[in-house]
Amino acid sequence: MKRAQQILHNTFGYEAFRPPQDEIIETVINGGDALVLMPTGGGKSLCYQIPALVRAGCGVVISPLIALMQNQVDALQQVGVKAAYLNSTQNFSESQAVEAALVAGELDLLYIAPERLNQSRMLSLLQRSPIALFAIDEAHCVSQWGHDFRADYLQLSVLHEGFPEIPRIALTATADERTRNEIITRLDLSEARQFIAGFDRPNIRYRIALKHNAKQQLLRFLKEEHDQDAGIIYCLSRRKTEDISAWLQGHGFNALPYHAGLDVELRSEHQSRFLREEGVIIVATIAFGMGIDKPDVRFVAHLDLPKTVESYYQETGRAGRDGDAANAWMIYGLQDVIKLRQMMAGSDGSEEHKRAEQHRLNAMLGLCEITSCRRQTLLSYFGDTLPAPCGNCDTCLEPVDTWDGTEAARMALSVAYRTGQRFGVNHLIDVLRGGETSKIFACDHHKLPTYGIGKALDKNQWSSVFRQLVARGYLSVDMERFGALRLEETCRPLLRGEQTIELRRDSKRSSAKQQTKTSLPVDIDVELWEALRNCRREFADDQGVPPYVVFHDRTLQEMCASIPNSLDELAEISGIGERKLNKYGPAFLEVISRHLNP
Ligand code: ADP
Ligand code: ZN
C-alpha cells in the first residue's frame, strides 16, 4: 500500500484516496477479486490503474466503448503511464506494435473491447504475456435485465476459466440489486469482495419542472445559468435532436446533434468537438454518453422523460464529474407519460417484461411527482439512505405547495368512466369544463351529469390533475385507442370517498432561488484565469488532446487562488503529479509571474 500511496501522489498528483478506493486497491494488489459499485465521477479508474502499476505485468481493461479508449490512453500517457489500446480503429502494423509490447512486458495498461476476447488469437496472446489484472469496466453490460446489455460481455467468463490466478475487478455505476447479482453470476465473481460506495452526487442539483413551452424553457435555462458551459441535452427522437440543436445554434449556442442515425464520421466529429472544445452543447438521444469521460460537463438537461430511474441517474450523472456544482434539469408533462406508457405497452416482449418496464416507469414518475426531497427518493431507490433532506434539489430549495385534490380527482375519474373510458385527456377536460366542441355534441356528452362541473379549474390545472392520476396509476393509458384513459382498480377507494388525495400545485416557472451559475468562484481573478486557460489550450492543441487532459478546471482554479511561485508550491496543488509538474510547471509559473509583473 505504501507503493500505491506513492503512485497516487507522484504520478496522479492527488493527496489521499477517497474511501473505499484504498480498500479496493489493497484487495486487488493482494490478488483478490473485487466488484465495485461507485457513482460516476467517484474515481473508479484509479481502483484498477494503481494496482496495475503496483503488480507485475500489464493490467488489461475491458471496456465497451472504443470511442474513449484513445482519450483514456492519452490521459494516462500524460502522467507517464505506459498505456495502449487495441481496437478496430487501428491498422495492422499499429496493433502489431501494441501486441509486441504486451508480450514483451512493456505495458502498464492495455484497453481492449470485449469482442476481442472471442478471438482465440487474443486469448493466446494474453496467455503468453505477463498480466497484472483484468478490469471489467461498465460491468452492468453483462446484465440482460439492464439497459446496456452487450452480448460480448457474456464471453467474459473465459477470463476466470483461462486465467484463474489473475485478479479481476468489475466496475459499474449502475446496479440495483438484481443487476448486481447478475454480474456476480455471469462473471463468476461469487468470491469477489463487494465494494458499494454511496451513490450520492452532492454537487448535482436535481430539478424537475412542468413542461409548458419546451424550447423557451430550455433557452431561458441556458441563458440564465449556462451561457458558456458544456452540457448534454437528451431528447427521445433523432429528429428532435437535430431540430433543437439547429434552433440553439440560431440563438448563438455552440450546439451539435448526436444520434445513432448520423453518419459515423459526423458523429465522431461532434463527439470529439464536445471533448476538445470548451462550451460545446451536445443534443443527443441516449445513444450518446456511456463512458464519456468529460469531467467538466456543467449541466444535463432532459427534454423528454427517461424510462427508468436508472437511466435518469446514469444520464444526469454525466454532469459534474469534477466535483464542481452542476445542474440536472428536466421538464416533463402529461404527454410524456402517455407517450412512454404507450411505447411500452406496444413493445414486443413477454407480459412479464412489460410489467417490469411499467413498474420501472412508475418509479420514474413517482420521482417526478414527489413533493419531498428528490435526492432522498433517488438514493432510496438504490438502497442508500440520506438521513436529512439534501438542500440541493428543487423541492428542498422551494417546498412544493400541495392542495386537497380529492374532489377534482373524483370528477376526473368519473368523467373518464361516464364517457366509456374511450377518450383522451383533451376531450375529457372539454367535457368537465362545459366546452362546446362538435365532438361533445356528436357524442351527446353535453347530456352527462359531469358536463360542465369542472369550470372552477382551468385547462392547465385539469391537465395537472390528470397527469398526476396517470402518474400514480389511478388511470391507465389504453394503447388500442390512442391515448384513451381507463380507470384502474386502485381508484375505487377514491371514488367511494374512502380516500383523499394530495396533489402538487404546479408552478409555471422555476424561481431565482433554484438557479445556479455554476461556472466560476466569484472571487477569482478572471484575467489570470483566462491566461492560464490559454496556456492550457496551447499545450492541448499541440498534442491533440482535450484541455482537461492537461489540467482540470479545478487545478487552474487552485492556481488562481494560491498563486504559486515555485515548482515546489505548484506541486502542492491537486492534480499535478511529477510528470505534469516537469512538463507544464515552468510554463504555467511563467504565466503567473507575467500576470503579477506585467
Ligand atoms: P469514474 O470512472 O468513477 O466515473 P473517474 O475515475 O473518471 O470516475 O474519476 C473522476 C475524477 O475524480 C477524475 O478526474 C479523477 O482524476 C478524480 N479522482 C479520482 N480519485 C481521486 C482522488 N483520490 N483524489 C482526487 N481526485 C481523484
Ligand atoms: Zn433535496
Terminal Cα distance for the chain, rounded:
46
Q: If pLDDT is split at 50, 70 and 90, which confidence band does 144 have?
A: confident
- Domain end: 340, 367, 394, which one? 367
- pLDDT-derived band at 47 (thresholds 50, 70, 90) equals very high
**Do 492 and 413 lie in a common domain?**
yes
Supply the residue whose CA is at minimum distance from atom 20 of ligand 1: 43
Residue 187 cell numbers, joined: 462473471
63 lines ligand 1 (CB under 6 A): no
Residue nearest atom 12 of ligand 1, based on CA coordinates: 43
| Nearest ligand, measured from the Cα of 514 | 2
- Same domain? For 30 and 178 the reply is yes
Question: Which DSSP string do the residues of 46-66 spell out, in sequence order?
Answer: HHHHHHHHHSSSEEEEE-S-G
pLDDT band at residue 519 using 50, 70 and 90 as cut-offs: low
From residue 65, give the alpha-carbon distance in Å to each of 115, 124, 137, 151, 305: 11, 23, 10, 14, 25
Residues 170, 65: one domain? yes
**Are 43 and 112 contained in the same domain?**
yes
Per DSSP, 263 falls in state -
95 pLDDT above the threshold of 70: yes
Answer whether 204's CB lies under 8 Å from 320's CB. Answer: yes
Nearest to 551 by CA among 538, 563, 536: 536
Q: Domain check: are 474 and 553 in the same one?
A: no
Q: Check whether 379 has a pLDDT greater than 70.
A: yes
- My answer on whether omega of the bond before 167 falls inside 30° of 0, hence cis, is no
Q: Is 174 in the pocket of ligand 1 (CB under 6 A)?
A: no
CA-proximal residue: ligand 1, atom 2 (nearest): 44
Greater pLDDT, 528 or 288: 528
Rounded Cα distance between 442 and 437, Å, is: 9
Mean pLDDT value across the chain: 90
CB of 38 closer than 6 A to ligand 1?
Answer: yes
Name the more confident of 348 and 411. 411
The pLDDT of residue 510:
62
One domain, residues 212 and 334: yes
CATH code at position 455:
1.10.10.10
pLDDT at 300: 97
8 shares a domain with 28: yes
Specify whether 461 is located in the same domain as 497. Answer: yes
Would the CB of 25 count as within 6 Å of ligand 1?
no
The residue nearest atom 15 of ligand 1, judged by CA position, is: 43
pLDDT at 446 over 90: yes
State residue 280's pLDDT score: 96
Mean pLDDT over 120-148 rounds to: 90
344 C-beta neighbours (distance < 10 Å), count: 20
- CATH number of the domain that 282 lies in? 3.40.50.300
Q: What is the model's pLDDT at position 36?
A: 95
Evaluate whether residue 397 is within a structural domain.
Answer: no
Atom of ligand 1 nearest to the CA of 38: 3
Cβ 531 under 6 angstroms from ligand 1:
no
Q: How far is the CA of 220 from the centre of ligand 1 (A)?
A: 32
pLDDT digits (tens, 9 = 90+) for 273-312: 998 888 999 999 977 776 577 888 999 999 999 988 988 9
- pLDDT tens readout for residues 308-356: 898 899 899 899 988 889 999 999 988 888 888 777 777 777 888 888 7
Question: Global pTM?
Answer: 0.74
- Identify the nearest ligand to the CA of 328 by its number: 2
Residue 509 lies in a domain: no
Let me know whether 349 and 490 are in one domain: no
Residue 512 lies in a domain: no
Is residue 387 situated within a structural domain? no
* d(CA 370, ligand 2 centre) in Å: 11
Residue with cell 435532436: 241
The answer to whether the CB of 463 is under 6 A from ligand 1 is: no
Within a domain: 178 = yes
pLDDT at 431: 96
Residue 43 CB less than 6 A away from ligand 1: yes
Q: Quick one: pLDDT at residue 483?
A: 77
The answer, yes or no, to whether any atom of ligand 1 lies below 6 A from the CB of 318, is no
Q: Ligand 1, atom 26: nearest CA belongs to which residue?
A: 14
Buried b (16+ CB within 10 A) or exposed e, 358-394: eebbbebbebbbbeebbbbbbbebbebebeeebebbb
Residue 597 is predicted with a pLDDT of 87
Is the CB of 17 within 6 Å of ligand 1?
yes
pLDDT in tens, 538-556: 999 999 888 989 999 889 9
SS3 content of the chain, % helix, strand, coil (to 5): 50, 15, 40
pLDDT at 479: 67
3-state secondary structure of 250: helix
Do the bridges between strand 255-258 and strand 281-284 make them parallel or antiparallel, or are there none, so unpaired? Answer: parallel
Centre of ligand 2 from the C-alpha of residue 391, in Å? 5
State the pLDDT at residue 373: 95
Q: Domain for residue 67, yes or no?
A: yes
Among all chains, which residue has been given the C-alpha cell 376531450?
427
CA of 56 to the centre of ligand 1 (A): 23
Domain count, the chain: 4
Test site for ligand 1: of 45, 73, 297, most ligand atoms within 8 A of the Cβ: 45
Encode pLDDT of 146-188 as tens digits.
Answer: 667 888 898 898 898 999 999 999 999 876 778 888 999 999 9
Residue nearest to atom 24 of ligand 1 (CA): 14
Note whether 53 and 157 are same-domain residues. Answer: yes
Of 473, 504, 535, the one marking the end of a domain is: 504
Q: How confident is the model at residue 42 (pLDDT cuts 50, 70, 90)?
A: confident
Q: Which of 367, 393, 413 is the last residue of a domain?
A: 367
Residue 43 CA to ligand 1 centre (angstroms) = 3
DSSP of 150-165 = -GGGGGGHHHHHH-TT
What does the CA dihedral 451, 456, 462, 466 come to, rounded to 10 degrees?
-70
Residue 231: CB atoms within 10 Å: 28
% of the chain beyond a pLDDT of 70? 96
Tell which atom from ligand 1 comes closest to the C-alpha of 17.
Answer: 23
Whether 544 is covered by a domain: the verdict is yes
Instruction: Please indicate, yes or no, whether residues 296 and 423 belong to a single structural domain of this protein.
Output: no
Say which CATH number the domain at 582 has: 1.10.150.80
420 in any annotated domain = yes
Is the distance from CB of 20 to CB of 195 less than 8 angstroms? yes
Ligand 1 atom nearest residue 18's Cα: 23
232 and 166 in one domain?
no
**What's the rounded mean pLDDT across residues 57-72?**
89
Q: How far is the CA of 478 from the centre of ligand 1 (A)?
A: 46
Q: Is 515 exposed, middle or buried (0-12, 13-18, 19+ CB in 10 A)?
A: middle
Which residue range(s) make up the domain with 486? 402-504
